[in-house]
């Protein structure tokens, strides 16, 4: 099975950890985030992996080489300019009929194999892994009416949102909706597919998931890694 891992970002929100390293090589308990992801994919029988690289690509290539030491086959697809999250997929010419796409910086116990089988069984053009995220608002939230009257006052509410995990299963037909050599993100692609009445499904994950986007997330990842993985 084939997986595309997006590893071209600069990781600006994760500074200072990304001053000298690409985000995907920042270590969790001495192991690069991307290496943890690749080992998890191998366990789920994804042995054909393409790394979509850009920023500091040579460091990533030097660490993973052809993937032999990890028991997988690794290829590289390099962007010459930033193409967003969906744009790099247009550069890859040897895509399978269905394939996995994911970020390189998520720590999760997600079952990639079950997710992929669900996608193929239901014949979606894209399936998105989703996670129910609790968001704490540490302020009093006011609801205001049309005449500026206060309708409600909620002190430090907690909201729940279904968020994208940055894990997708694609049918190759979705690539036709991505423009050539343009910056193009996943939300834009999904809306374009919806507008064209394409079948897009969600897949709920009820386990552990952490997007390592900020220094505090990175610290939490290191705290959780020994307990959960």
Any idea which residues carry the catalytic annotation? 156
Beta bridge partners of 225: none
CA–CA dist 117, 122 (Å, integer): 9
Q: List the structure tokens of 82.
A: 């930033």
Q: 53: Cβ–Cβ under 8 A, 6 or more apart, which residues?
A: 7, 8, 60, 61, 76, 77, 78, 79
Neighbours of 39 (CB within 10 A): 13
User: Tokens in use for 185?
Assistant: 């993100």
Q: What is the DSSP letter of 179?
A: P
Tell me the two tokens of residue 182. 């343009």
Q: Are 102 and 211 in contact (CB under 8 A)?
A: no
């Amino acid at each position: 099975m084939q997986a595309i891992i997006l590893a071209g970002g600069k990781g600006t929100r994760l500074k200072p950890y990304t001053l000298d390293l690409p985000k995907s090589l920042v270590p969790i308990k001495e192991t690069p985030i991307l290496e943890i992801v690749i080992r998890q994919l191998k366990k789920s029988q994804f042995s054909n992996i393409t790394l979509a690289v850009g920023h500091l690509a040579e460091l990533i290539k030097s660490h993973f080489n052809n993937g032999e030491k990890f028991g997988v086959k690794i290829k590289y697809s390099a962007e010459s300019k930033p193409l967003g999250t969906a744009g790099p997929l247009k550069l890859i010419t040897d895509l399978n009929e269905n394939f996995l796409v994911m970020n390189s910086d998520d720590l999760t116990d997600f079952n990639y194999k079950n997710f992929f089988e669900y996608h193929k069984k239901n014949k979606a053009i894209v399936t998105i892994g989703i996670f129910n995220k609790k968001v704490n608002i540490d302020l009093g939230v006011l609801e205001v009416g049309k005449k500026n009257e206060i309708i409600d006052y909620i002190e430090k509410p907690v909201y729940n949102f279904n968020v994208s995990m940055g894990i997708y299963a694609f049918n190759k037909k979705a690539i036709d909706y991505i423009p050539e050599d343009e910056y193009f993100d996943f939300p834009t692609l999904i809306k374009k597919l919806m507008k064209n009445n394409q079948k897009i499904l969600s897949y709920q994950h009820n386990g552990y998931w952490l997007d390592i986007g900020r220094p505090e997330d990175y610290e939490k990842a290191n705290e959780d890694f020994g307990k959960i993985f």
